[in-house]
Amino acid sequence: MSRRETLILAIESSCDETGVALVVGGRRIVAQAVASQVALHAPAGGIMPELAARAHVRWIVPALAEVLGTAGVTIPEVDGIAVTAGPGLAGSLLVGISFAKALAWAHERPLVGVNHLEGHLYAAWLLDPDEPERPAPPFPLVALVVSGGHTFLIEMRDHLAYRLLGETVDDAAGEAFDKAGRLLGLGYPGGPAIAAAAADARRRDAVLPRAWLRDTYDFSFSGLKTALRRQVEGELAEAGQPGGEAGGRLDPSRVSELAWGFQEAVVDVLAAKTLRAVDETAARAVVLGGGVASNEALRARIAAGATARGLPFFVPRPGLCTDNGAMIGAAGWHRFMAGERAGSELGARPAWPLVRPAGAPDTRRPPRRGAAARTYAAALAAERDAARDATGDAGGSPARRGAR
């Protein structure tokens, strides 16, 4: 690790994973640990907020100790501490925030609050400890973020600058997967369970409705969920069985076929709208992030669309799509370099949006003037140089961006 680059200690505890990571230069993971609570919440079939917060308290210190031990780094050696401040579960967020504040205060390190969704986005920039260097996504780009609580499509013309193209008007994509998983009796979390069941489907012809919401980039998944429920109940009634969330009593091969039909409907709409946005904004790259981005069918569909357009596609490996500390280190580096700092007033923001609707002022734009802006510009220029060295690309839009 080069000590010329800024080293961020990052903490994530917004939902049901306790993540701690050391990330250098906004991209390179030095070490990370994720303590998953999946087994804790599985019996209830969903996240129990009180249990989640207590599990964060239990695991946050061991996770930090593991990361520092693996990296051979002490807290006084880090340049800043980044912590997820929202959106998420208030009690869970508060564990990470209180912990980060205590570390920052005790070790006199600067603190920065990070938006969890910005973390999911910046996960596409991350490099694993041993991964070869590769270029960062070029701008302008289109990014789809699909998690358990959020689903939205944005255009990015520069770092930290977002234009909202569309978002879900009801359920998030991950939420839809989780509900469908319950309906089919597949357990929690539904996303990976549906994907696994779908992969086993022998007949691939189950058609469930798509809500296209034409002429918008918005998404809707609640009608699909209702259609799946009707289908399951109808088939159970035909077989003379009671309905309800009892799809487990459908034949496993039929469950697989319906799982495939459900996944296909979600992937179809997500991929089609993302690729239309790519065309209409003349994007130079496609980025995918959030827990649902670990879905193989979704990755393959968007990858194929990007390849057909000759565009690079950036998606984290599945373990970095779901919640983790490293993504907060990547986004936190940008906020840190842009001069943002949080103090003891930093609080949990359970409903903090990443992007405000069109026209609303963005209060978190990084500074465009002064010493912080110059430092940030220099850091981004170094990133561009590194990317150019790695690819031999001498021009392109990053340089134009600098001249703007």
In whole angstroms, how close is the CB of 147 to ligand KG4 at the nearest point?
A: 3
Of 283 and 288, CB closest to Zn ion: 288
In whole angstroms, how close is the CB of 291 to ligand KG4 at the nearest point?
A: 2
Partner that binds at residue 80, options ligand KG4, Zn ion, none, CB closer than 5 to 8 Å by kind: none
Q: Token digits for 110? A: 């600067």
Nearest to 14 by CA among 104, 108, 82: 82
Of 204 and 374, CB closest to ligand KG4: 204
Of 38 and 381, CB closest to ligand KG4: 38
Distance CA 372, CA 338 (A): 6
Partner that binds at residue 192, options Zn ion, ligand KG4, none, CB closer than 5 to 8 Å by kind: ligand KG4
Partner that binds at residue 189, options Zn ion, ligand KG4, none, CB closer than 5 to 8 Å by kind: ligand KG4
Of 171 and 323, CB closest to Zn ion: 323
Of 330 and 380, CB closest to ligand KG4: 330
In whole angstroms, how close is the CB of 195 to Zn ion at the nearest point?
A: 17
Please write down the HEC assignment for all residues of the chain: CCCCCCEEEEEECCCCEEEEEEEECCCEEEEEEEEECHHHHHHHCCCCHHHHHHHHHHHHHHHHHHHHHHHCCCHHHCCEEEEEEECCCHHHHHHHHHHHHHHHHHHCCCEEEEEHHHHHHHHHHCECCCCCCCCCCCCCEEEEEECCCCEEEEEEEECCEEEEEEEECCCCHHHHHHHHHHHCCCCCCHHHHHHHHHHCCCCCCCCCCCCCCCCCCCECCHHHHHHHHHHHHHHHHHCCCCCCCCHHHCCHHHHHHHHHHHHHHHHHHHHHHHHHHHHHHCCCEEEEECHHHHCHHHHHHHHHHHHHCCCCEECCCHHHHCCCCHHHHHHHHHHHHCCCCECCCCCCCCCCCCCCCCCCCCCCCCCCCHHHHHHHHHHHHHHHHHHHHHHCCCCCHHHHHHHC
Does the footprint of Zn ion cover residue 178 (CB under 5 A)?
no
Partner that binds at residue 294, options Zn ion, ligand KG4, none, CB closer than 5 to 8 Å by kind: ligand KG4
In whole angstroms, how close is the CB of 87 to ligand KG4 at the nearest point?
A: 9
34, 51 Cβ separation under 8 angstroms? no
Of 140 and 148, CB closest to ligand KG4: 148
| Among 32, 147, 274, 294, contact with Zn ion (rule: CB under 5 A) | 147
Partner that binds at residue 190, options ligand KG4, Zn ion, none, CB closer than 5 to 8 Å by kind: ligand KG4
Give residues in contact with ligand KG4 (CB under 6 A).
Answer: 15, 120, 147-149, 174, 177-178, 189-192, 195, 290-292, 294-295, 322-323
289, 320 Cβ separation under 8 angstroms? no
In whole angstroms, how close is the CB of 238 to ligand KG4 at the nearest point?
A: 29
In whole angstroms, how close is the CB of 355 to ligand KG4 at the nearest point?
A: 16
Half-sphere exposure of 292 (CA within 13 A, CB side): 25
In whole angstroms, how close is the CB of 336 to Zn ion at the nearest point?
A: 20
| Among 323, 326, 342, 380, contact with Zn ion (rule: CB under 5 A) | 323
Partner that binds at residue 195, options ligand KG4, Zn ion, none, CB closer than 5 to 8 Å by kind: ligand KG4
CA angle 185, 186, 189 (to 5 degrees): 125
Of 137 and 192, CB closest to ligand KG4: 192
Nearest to 153 by CA among 168, 174, 170: 168
In whole angstroms, how close is the CB of 120 to Zn ion at the nearest point?
A: 6
What DSSP state is assigned to residue 304? H
Of 195 and 379, CB closest to Zn ion: 195
Stretch touching Zn ion by CB under 5 A, among 66-74, 90-98, 123-131, 141-149: 141-149
Stretch touching Zn ion by CB under 5 A, among 227-235, 319-327, 354-362, 381-389: 319-327
Of 115 and 322, CB closest to ligand KG4: 322
Number of residues binding to Zn ion, judged by CB under 5 A: 2
Of 83 and 195, CB closest to ligand KG4: 195
Chain residues binding Zn ion by CB under 5 A are 147, 323
